Amino acid sequence: MGEIKVIELKEEILSDNKNFAEELRTRLKASKTFMLNLMASPGAGKTSLVLNTIRELRDEFMIGVIEGDIASVVDSEKVMKEGIPVVQLKTGGFCHLDAYMIDKALSELDVKNLDLIIIENVGNLVCPAEFDTGAIKNAMILSVPEGDDKPLKYPLMFSICDVLVVNKVDFLDYSDFDMHEMKERVKSLNPEITIIDVSCKTGFNIGKWAQWLKDEIDLFQQEDALKV
């Protein structure tokens, strides 16, 4: 009699990707380049936050951007107008970015001379949460119009992020979004997460977000210096 050998491809692929992501992080530490992986649903405000971050931090840090998108280059064009180096990954249907794809993008950037690389991941709350990109920190945006139940529906995404940016708080007055309830749900999934309310439209708390990111970059570059 024969025997069925079962290979769980998704587990193997995720495991291979995780190992390669660790390699990327080692390289980023060597060049003191902080890489942030920014995830969100379509329309939550990823590109707006990227543009706001560039404007807040461009005087202090050399910044590069990796834009992930299924087909378009619209977001990249906005970043390019800021005079920031940008690589567009067109996934051609894939709904996530993985470490191998990020490596292809990094090879097109002058990584050694960059302090901060922001990955704008594909707009999706499921698949990007599964694939380690090699980033130093993971960030997500939840926008108020999406609803306060999202932590219940996408627990993995909320669990793996270091910071949650709650965007479009200018909509709170016109919405039944329960901020307290949402934060309780998130904290129960991920007690360590930092949560920052912002409005990319009005500029509310953008400085606070930029300060969080600056502190993380400074800490990362100091840690690296201490090791060397």
Binding part of the chain for a copy of itself, among 77-85, 143-151, 163-171, 218-226 by CB under 8 A, reads 77-85
Which of 50, 51, 101, 142 forms a contact with a copy of itself (CB under 8 A)? 101
Which of 37, 48, 52, 88 forms a contact with a copy of itself (CB under 8 A)? 88
In the complex with a copy of itself, the residue whose CB is nearer, 82 or 178, is 82
Residues in contact with a copy of itself, counted by CB under 8 A, come to a total of: 34
* Helix orientation angle between 99-106 and 9-30, rounded to the nearest 10 degrees: 30
Instruction: Please choose, from the candidates 176, 173, 167, 178, the residue with its C-alpha nearest in 3D space to the C-alpha of residue 204.
Output: 167
Interaction of residue 94 with a copy of itself, rule CB under 8 A? yes
User: Do 86 and 109 contact (CB within 8 A), yes or no?
Assistant: no
> What separation in angstroms does the CA of 189 have from each of 168, 183, 184?
23, 10, 9
Interaction of residue 37 with a copy of itself, rule CB under 8 A? no
Interaction of residue 140 with a copy of itself, rule CB under 8 A? no
Q: What residues between 117 and 136 interact with a copy of itself by CB under 8 A?
A: none
The identity of residue 195, as a single letter, is: I
Which of 4, 225, 226, 228 forms a contact with a copy of itself (CB under 8 A)? 4
Interaction of residue 53 with a copy of itself, rule CB under 8 A? no
Instruction: Please choose, from the candidates 69, 30, 34, 36, the residue with its C-alpha nearest in 3D space to the C-alpha of residue 50.
Output: 36
For 188-209, letters b (16+ CB in 10 Å) and e give ebbeebebbbbbbeeeebbeeb
Interaction of residue 59 with a copy of itself, rule CB under 8 A? no
Which of 24, 28, 36, 105 forms a contact with a copy of itself (CB under 8 A)? 105
The identity of residue 46, as a single letter, is: K
Write out the residues near a copy of itself by the rule CB under 8 A.
1-12, 73, 76-77, 79-80, 82-94, 101, 104-105, 108
